[in-house]
Amino acid sequence: MPKLAQVDASWTLFLDRDGVINERVMGGYVLHFNEFHFKQGVLDGAKELFGKFGRVIVVTNQQCVAKGLLTESDLSEIHRQMTEELWLHGAKVDQIFAALECKGEAPFMRKPNPGMARLAKEVFPEIDFSKSIMVGDTDSDILFGQALGMKTVLIETEEKTNVQADIQIKELSQLSEYI
């Protein structure tokens, strides 16, 4: 099988959240951690996969905050519990960036716009987008990565996609086979 990239500690892994790390709530949102269910293989495979990269960054569109369905504090608590569970399985997430606005509204941080990647680069200036992989399950995730010159990986879900990623896999843990 052809390799996507020869990854080392100079590389950054960008991950979408819903549909990649946890099961997506189709037509809804994860509003409490008891609704957050890790996707198959994530907890078991994250230590090996995340350990290959210098940085692991989560970039997630969360318009449920702008819609008033949960607060920023509630979202932060979901993310704290998510990262704690990953940490307990030996996997470290360096930073989570969340776009909180509704589609089409300022400040235009939502993927496919590159705002969250630019914030990541401000926090971690060593990030080189040409040495980064974006993993997502939607067209906007893949377009986000492509616009920044990243390698792109599509996780197959029930979400219909039209944009071609560099590779397509069924679950995040399979990425280790390609790097």
Cα separation of 123 and 167, whole Å? 28
Strand residues in 35-111 grouped as ranges (E): 55-61, 95-99
pLDDT of residue 112: 97
- The whole-number pLDDT of residue 38 equals 98
Computed over every residue of the chain, the mean pLDDT equals 96
- Residue 106: the pLDDT is 87
Res 98 pLDDT > 80: yes
Q: What per-residue confidence (pLDDT) applies to 27?
A: 87
The arithmetic mean of pLDDT across residues 16-45, rounded, is 95
Residue 23 belongs to a domain: yes
Task: Residue 86: count other Cβ atoms within 10 Å of its Cβ.
Answer: 21
Query: Is residue 1 in a domain?
Result: no
82-106 average pLDDT score: 96
Confidence at 159, pLDDT banded by 50, 70, 90: confident
Whether 3 shows a pLDDT value over 80: the answer reads yes
Residue 5 lies in a domain: no
The domain in which residue 123 lies consists of 12-178
Mean pLDDT of 167-174: 95
Please state the pTM of the whole predicted model: 0.96
* Residue-level pLDDT at 70: 95
The confidence band for 44, taking pLDDT boundaries of 50, 70 and 90, is very high
CA distance 125 to 166: 25
Q: Is 3 a member of any domain?
A: no
In-domain check, residue 72: yes
Give the C-alpha distances (Å, rounded to integers) separating 91 from 43, 46, 88.
Answer: 8, 6, 7
Residue 2 is predicted with a pLDDT of: 78
* CA gap 35, 169 in Å, rounded: 24
CATH number of the domain enclosing 122: 3.40.50.1000
Q: Which residues are catalytic?
A: 16, 18
Report pLDDT for 1.
65
The count of structural domains within the chain is 1
